[in-house]
Structures are given as structure tokens and as C-alpha cells.
Structure 1
Amino acid sequence: MTRGRQPPASLRRKVGERQPRKTLVILCEGRRTEPEYLDALRRDREIHDVAAVDIRIEGSASGAVPLTLVRRALEIRERARREQSEIDEIWCVYDVEWPKHHPALVEARDLAQRNGINLAVSNPCFELWLVLHFRDYRRFLDNEQARRVRREHDGSADKGIDGTVYMPQKRDAARRAAALDRFHQQNSTCVPDDNPSSGMHRLIASVLPPQT
């Protein structure tokens, strides 16, 4: 480590641990639902000893657009290199949005792919990922429909997250989301036409220990 400002403790390797922990920086556009879910994921007992997760919420009160998140992720990685911080993976978590899409979705995807930034994109929105904790879902839906289906399953009256409801079913959600990915690959559909879908299963796979 060079002399000067030290990286935050959450980004420095701990010495003396039997198994090295994975450090992820996760940027998300949402102001409540996504960060509350990710915080529950970070605190989940099954994951806690595998991944040290630093959650950073970027953007204004109305949320940052995908391209802004990816560019911010590149800035964070460059700063980590200058400061010799240990970051194993950087993730951007954002939505496609229906009926009106976020701008520059393809540009954001391509920029991330060229620069090794991981994406967990939900189409139409993060609520679809939440629905997958309870059931398969393969019909096209817009944002409001996704929120309504989510409320039918968890009884939520707002956008808050009860981690105790979702964490026990995270592997089931990942399995269902991966099946949706395979369906869209077989049909050669990609963003923004891969509705419904969620790349959150790749983030889950990155932090979950393999089942024995």
C-alpha cells in the first residue's frame, strides 16, 4: 500500500482469515427497494462469510439512469486502482422500465461489457425479481403490473423490503431468473425486449457459496 489516504475499511483485505472474502461494490438506481434488498443480502447468514459487500447508492432523489451508473462504476474502479484498494467485482443494478424505457440502455450495456463491469438488469423493474422469489413468471408486464403482482405475494403496501421474507427464497428466485435468461437466449431476445427478465441471479451466484 502506498502512503497517503487509506481505502475504506470495507475495501481492505482482512488479515488472518481462513478464507479470503470477496469484496463487491454495488451501485443501484433505486432509493429504497433495491438498497434494502441488497442490505438484507449482505447481512444474510449464508452470504456474510463469503462476500464483504459495499453498497453505494448513486444518483439524485429521482434515481440515476443506467449509463450514469456504469460511468460512475468506471470512476470507482479507477480510483480503487490509484489507491490500491481491493475490489473484486463492481455491479450496477438497474431497471429497463416499461412502458417508457430508460435512455441509452444498449450503450450502458456495451460500455459495461467492454470494461468488465457486471450488470444485474431487471426488465421491467426490480419488482419482477421480487416476484420470482415466490413463483415463475413468463408473461410480459409493465412496472405497475409488476408492483401489483409483488404486492399479491408479500402483502407489501409500499416499496419497503422485509429481508426475512425474501432471503430464504433467494436460490429459488435465482433459478427462475436463470430459466428466463435461457428462454430469451433461445429466442434471441435482448434488452429492452427481454421482458420479463432479471440478471440478479448472476449477482446471487457471485456471492452464494455452492450447494453441497
Structure 2
Amino acid sequence: MPFPRENAIARRVPYRPARRRQLVIGGLAEVSYLTGLYAFCANPAVQVHHAPDPIAPAHLVALAEEYQTRHGDAVDEVWVLLDGEDLDWNDVAGHADQAGIRLAVSNPCFETWLLLHFHDKPVPAGDRDAAMRLLRQYLPDYDPRRLDFTDFRDGLADAVDRAKPLALRFETELAGLGAAPPNPYTGVWALAESIATKKGHAR
């Protein structure tokens, strides 16, 4: 079933060998979502690994760095998905930057990104529970342990468009000053767009 708009992320894109080989590490909901996304986009250059649970964000970045060191010839780009709630941003971001690992942080949680597939109004600041309650207004049976990408597929292009304004000031002005991601915020749009575009890069 096609997306409602025709753009780089709203349609299937044939595989090209030039796509960047991406390794993505995240929790159960993130892995379920991204596995569905790369299958839908027919992008076999993406590997998605489920992180051990529970695991501290700093340890998750260290795990990604270890994989990158051991298998550097097999991947071009490593991403780690993290929740922003209670995140020691400066420590984790500094480590990731040194290791050349890209972070896709959602604040307060991954459900912030999922919510943008449906919610066309400003997302209020809040905690994880508030984000979950708002998401369940659209998906009453939402369970992060049984996430189905098809529930989100048709709203993907909208989610990218809605996430960019949330991210713009942080990513262009504040991140370089050591500021933590605001609430609400999600950087997952860049990874999603990267997976869906012709050569693995956001436009």
C-alpha cells in the first residue's frame, strides 16, 4: 500500500549497490520498526541489531563502537537509537562523536517519533508516560513489545516533515554548544530518510 505522497521517503526505492551499509542498534520497539522500514524500502544494506535489555546508553554506544572496530569493513555507518529521558547527553554524545557513531535520540522516548506519524498538532513536552498516552489515542492497542511497522507506514512521510522543525534549531545551533536535545525532539527522521533514499543519504 503506497504512502500518501510521492517523495524520497514516501515510495519504494529500488535497491542500488551504491547504498551505504548501515548498522543500527536499538531496543525492541526500535528494531521492530526499522526492520519493517528497511524491508518496505527494499534496502538490504541495512542491518538492525537488538540491544541487550537493560543496558545503559553509554554501554550501548561502547557496544556499537566495539562492533564497528571489529567489523569496520562490513559497515559504512553505525547508528544508535536512544531515549532522551534521563540521558547523560554530554557524556554519551561526546563518546559517540569520538567513535564516529551517529545517534538518533528521541526525547523523551521513541514513542515521540511514532506519535508524529499521526499527530498533526504541536507535541507537548512531557515524560514517557505522557507520550505513550498520546500515542494510544491513535493506536489504542500499541505495545512496544509487539510493534507492527504497517501501523506507521502510511504516516512515514508526514512524520519526517513534522520531526524536522522540532530538530532544526537543536541540530544547527545548539548541539554544537553541548546542549541536550529539547523536549519534545526526535532525530529518528534522519535515519528513516537515510534508509529510504537512493544512496542511503538524506536529501
Q: What band does the TM-score fall into relative to the shorter chain?
A: 0.7 to 0.9
Where does structure 1 differ by over 6 angstroms across 4 or more consecutive aligned residues?
Answer: none
Using CA pairs under 8 Å that are at least 6 residues apart, name the structure with larger relative contact order, 1 or 2.
2
> Residue 3 of structure 1 corresponds to which residue in structure 2?
none
- In 2, the alpha carbon distance for the partners of 1:172 and 1:106 equals 30
Once the two structures are overlaid, the 10-residue window that deviates more, 137-146 or 175-184, is: 175-184
Cα separation, 2, equivalents of 1:188 and 1:93 = 20
- Letter of the structure 2 residue corresponding to residue 114 of structure 1: Q
Equivalent residue for 2:81, pick from 77, 81, 93: 93
Q: Does 1:20 align with 2:26?
A: no
Kept in 1, the 8 Å contact 2:46–2:195? The answer is: no
Query: In 2, Cα distance between the equivalents of 1:75 and 1:149?
Result: 37
Q: Which residue of 2 aligns with 1:53?
A: 46
Q: 2:164–2:189: 8 Å Cα contact kept in structure 1?
A: yes
Check conservation: 1:24, 1:89, Cα contact below 8 A: yes
Contact persistence 1:93–1:120 (CA under 8 A): yes
Q: Aligned residue for 2:126? A: 141
Shift of 1:208: 1.5
Distance, in Å, in 2 between the alignment partners of 1:191 and 1:143 is 17
Q: Distance in 2 between matches of 1:157 and 1:115?
A: 35
**Number of matched pairs:** 181
Amino acid at match of 2:100: G
Distance in 1 of aligned mates of 2:194 and 2:142: 31
Q: What SS class does the counterpart of residue 134 from structure 1 fall into?
A: coil
- TM-superposed CA distance for 1:59, in Å, is 2.1
Q: Compare CA radii of gyration and give the structure with the larger one.
A: 1
Say if 1:66 and 1:105, in contact at 8 Å, map to a contact too: no
Give 1:70-109 correspondences, 5 Å limit.
70-81=61-72, 85-97=73-85, 101-102=86-87, 104-109=88-93
**CA contact under 8 A between 2:64 and 2:80: conserved in structure 1?**
yes
Q: Distance in 2 between matches of 1:144 and 1:116?
A: 32
With over 3 angstroms needed to count, the CA separation of the structure-2 counterparts of 1:74 and 1:184, relative to structure 1, is: closer
Contact map agreement 1:138 1:180 (CA 8 A) in 2:
no
Contact 2:38/2:196, CA 8 A, preserved across alignment: no
Shift of 1:185: 5.7
Which residue of structure 2 lines up, in the alignment, with residue 167 of structure 1?
153
Cα drift, residue 111 of structure 1: 1.1
Partner of 2:140: 155
SS state of the match for residue 90, structure 1? Answer: strand
* Percentage of matched positions with identical amino acids: 31
**Contact between 2:38 and 2:195, CA under 8 Å: does it hold in 1?**
no
In 2: Cα distance, 1:89 partner to 1:131 partner: 26
Alignment counterpart, residue 184 of structure 2, candidates 181, 196, 201: 196
For 1:18 and 1:58, how far apart are their aligned partners in 2?
A: 28
Q: 1:88 to 1:195 in 2, by over 3 A?
A: same
2:55 is the counterpart of 1:64: yes
Corresponding residue for residue 6 of structure 1 = none
Equivalent residue number for residue 8 of structure 2:
none
Unaligned runs of 5+ in 2: 1-14
2:45 alignment partner, SS class: strand
Match of 1:119 in 2: 103
Which residue among 104, 108, 112 is the counterpart of 1:128? 112
- Following superposition, the deviation at residue 146 of structure 1 comes to 0.2
Cα distance, 1:164 vs structure 2:
1.3
